[in-house]
Homo-oligomer: A and B are copies of this chain.
Amino acid sequence: MSSSALSSQKEIRILIADDHPVVREGLVTILALQKDLKVVGQARDGEEACLLYDQLSPDVLILDLRMPKKDGQQVVSELMSREPRPRIIVLTNSAKAEDLRRSLTAGAKGYLLKGAEPRQVWETIREVFAGKSSLPHDIAAQLAESMAQPQLSQRELQVLRQMAFGKSNKEIAQILYISEHTVKNHVKVIFKKLNAIGRTEAMAIATQRGLIDSGAC
């Protein structure tokens, strides 16, 4: 029940960045239960997160992906240039493989769902603080699955987004300054990568995977 003996001499200084007041309060409450964990600051958006990070130099940053002004991905990318390397845990309610993949490639060390149990939160923080990467089992499984699936290239994503607006191949060709034949080729590859039989199913899969700008969620 009690925590491990990992460098328990110093307390771990934590910065929370989340635009939901309820979640911030919940995290503070949960983390306050462990005496080696100390919340030293809270940010309401991405900009504030960067500012406070530089001011406070926390040991661990817990970050939501969807935030106003500057989203989680950007914050991770921006902070990764700092020395020493920040230890960042992404805490979000999106179980989408795409978000997970992007977060990790951007440099995040941990990924937690908002449905996580308190103990899981504590342990992840301690592991990341200790320099390890930490992914809950269920999340790790998704990552493996995600990595197995081929990713769309930038160009293919552009085509996909135009498809989402109902554009025809010819229209997409004009928009992207390429031949309609090329568009058809891209579309074909998209189908294969998404394992879809037509553009309609491709759209359904893409939006559910988070490949399309879905705005609110």
- Residues of chain A having any CB pair with chain B under 8 Å: 19-30, 93-96, 114-118, 121, 163-166, 168, 196-204, 207-208, 212, 214-217
Q: Could you tell me if B21 and A22 are in contact, using CB atoms closer than 8 angstroms?
A: no
Instruction: Give every chain B residue within 8 A of A95 (Cβ-Cβ).
Output: 216-217
When chains A and B are docked, how far (Å) is the Cα of A197 from the Cα of B163?
11
Among B116, B198, B202, B207, the residue within 8 A (CB) of A21 is: B116
Instruction: Give every chain B residue within 8 A of A216 (Cβ-Cβ).
Output: 94-96
Instruction: Give every chain B residue within 8 A of A164 (Cβ-Cβ).
Output: 200-201, 204
Instruction: Give every chain B residue within 8 A of A202 (Cβ-Cβ).
Output: 166, 200
- Name which residue of chain B comes closest to A161, CB basis: B204
Given known pairs A20-B114, A20-B115, A30-B25, the reply for A207 and B217 (CB within 8 Å) is no
When chains A and B are docked, how far (Å) is the Cα of A198 from the Cα of B170?
14
When chains A and B are docked, how far (Å) is the Cα of A22 from the Cα of B121?
10
Among B21, B163, B196, B201, the residue within 8 A (CB) of A26 is: B21
When chains A and B are docked, how far (Å) is the Cα of A212 from the Cα of B163?
18
25 contacts between A and B (CB under 8 A): A19-B115, A20-B26, A20-B115, A21-B26, A22-B26, A22-B30, A22-B116, A23-B23, A24-B26, A26-B29, A28-B29, A93-B93, A95-B216, A95-B217, A163-B200, A166-B197, A166-B200, A166-B202, A199-B200, A203-B203, A204-B207, A204-B212, A208-B214, A208-B215, A217-B217
Instruction: Give every chain B residue within 8 A of A23 (Cβ-Cβ).
Output: 22-23, 26, 114
